[in-house]
Chain A
């Protein structure tokens, strides 16, 4: 009977595929920030070209996802676009009796996204706070053409969401009218198609949209994200991107981390659109 043969074939293939447990080299799991997932993946790709025995598997989901995975023990390296909170550090300490290791691996200039046709070229931090908390709802109020502002934000699992909330909104809540999109690319995509849109995200993703300069306050000069302004910290929304590990990196993890911090890894970071740490 044909069916039986087909079933047996399928079964054999599955067992064959699934039973090959033994494979050379170790596997390093990297999980976390969506901002960093592309970067992490390119790092993994390049690293594995040089170290074919080691497997680096990269998953996104958000910095929160990565941190909770680190706490739950489901990942070895957590990629995060925000520093870990004290409460989270404590959870690691309580569970694994060791301090979490924080490794800055790249820098990012968190950018504000506007539609390409938007006339505004500078925004102060206070204006940004007003827009994203919903106090400012019309472009006229910040010097643009009259029209309602559509606010695009990220899902609350994102480190960028938290970083922006802490540094721009100063802890206040986003306006409930802010649309939460599941990834930075979705924000870019939405703003690129929406004349009234404003969003935020890594500079690396910005394509087909306008990035305004950011001013610390009304008196200070507007600053655009660039290698110099981000590394020196004069750009108000410069931030570090991190790797976190539960214990001091060793073995495959150490090899990978060292490679990332080395010239090849840092060059790749710049190629993808971030800035090197040093």
Chain B
């Protein structure tokens, strides 16, 4: 074997092995987390756990209020974020000239928004939604009585909507990009207006893409804790949130408080693990759905 060939073989072996090992390590880490949570969390999981409120200082009972709170939060968040995200993507892709100054600025805004740390969104939510909008609304409509000027469901949802806006924009744009221009041209040639092209031709086709974006956004909304720390999450509420301005319990926040502030960490460990299992199961299911949906979209 020539020296050159040997060198090539050695190099290939080294790089190949290192790359494979790195990949393996990451997969092992993933499996370790899943395994640990699965093994410790599964025994406590039951219908009762999912359908009861916590009792006895969180040492007993279930996590129903946290599930319901999370669900309401992400539904509100989606309702706020998806229309705006879709409109932005449509504007960027269908209305604006590709290199217009305004479009570039919007893109820059989206990119930067995606990079803002989640805790800064929490600060923003508290400063803008709760203290500025909320207090302002109270002064205007409630004679200064405290209704909106405190952390609550709506403010938490709007904070998360701002955080997930880039997700929906990017996913929608990707879907729009996949639609062949020939279709648009054909539609325009038949005399349809841009609005009609968008609503009847592009949006129906982009639907799976938009859905993917929404699912990813929901998955983040269910797991992000930092933005809702100061905008609405509560440690314990005996009743489900009944109003847009009531506080709520949240799966992610529940995991945080249970692992740091429960009365007895060892005794509450089974419940804690089961809560983590539910949260992980939820976000994984959502992510998996998004991955599959996207794969189907690309194949189509």
Contact = CB atoms under 8 A, between A and B. Distances in A.
Interface of A: 3, 10-11, 13-14, 17-18, 20-21, 23, 34, 37-38, 41-42, 44-45, 48, 55-61, 72-74, 181-186, 188-189, 204-205, 207-208, 272
Contact of A41 (B57, B76, B264): B57
B177 to A, nearest CB: 21
Contacts of B238: 44-45, 48, 55-57
28 contacts: A3-B207, A13-B75, A14-B72, A14-B75, A14-B76, A17-B241, A18-B72, A18-B153, A20-B243, A37-B261, A38-B57, A38-B263, A41-B236, A42-B56, A55-B239, A57-B239, A58-B236, A59-B235, A59-B236, A74-B146, A74-B150, A185-B261, A185-B264, A186-B260, A188-B265, A205-B264, A207-B264, A272-B57
Given A58-B236, A74-B146, A23 B242 contact: yes
A154 to B, nearest CB: 11
A61 B72 contact: no
A20 B241 CA distance: 10
B17 to A, nearest CB: 37
Contacts of A14: 72, 75-76, 79
A57 B237 contact: yes
B221 to A, nearest CB: 14
Contacts of B260: 181-183, 185-186
Q: Which 8 A-B pairs have the closest CB atoms?
A: A183-B261, A74-B150, A189-B265, A38-B57, A182-B260, A183-B260, A186-B260, A60-B235
A60 B257 contact: yes
Given A182-B261, A186-B260, A59 B239 contact: no
Interface in B134-157: 146, 149-151, 153
Interface residues of B, number: 37
A196 to B, nearest CB: 19
B114 interface: no
Contacts of B257: 60, 183
Interface in B259-275: 259-267
B200 interface: no
A23 B151 CA distance: 20
Contacts of B264: 185, 188, 205, 207
Contacts of A182: 260-261
Could you tell me the dominant secondary structure of chain A's interface residues? helix
Contacts of A184: 261
Interface in B224-256: 234-244, 247
B55 interface: yes
A56 B257 CA distance: 19
A42 B242 contact: no
A37 B58 CA distance: 11
B74 to A, nearest CB: 10
A208 B237 CA distance: 29
A263 to B, nearest CB: 20
B211 interface: yes
Given A42-B57, A185-B265, A3 B237 contact: no
A10 B263 contact: no
B236 A37 contact: yes
A186 B266 CA distance: 11
Contacts of B267: 207
A185 to B, nearest CB: 5
Contacts of B244: 18
Nearest to B258: A185
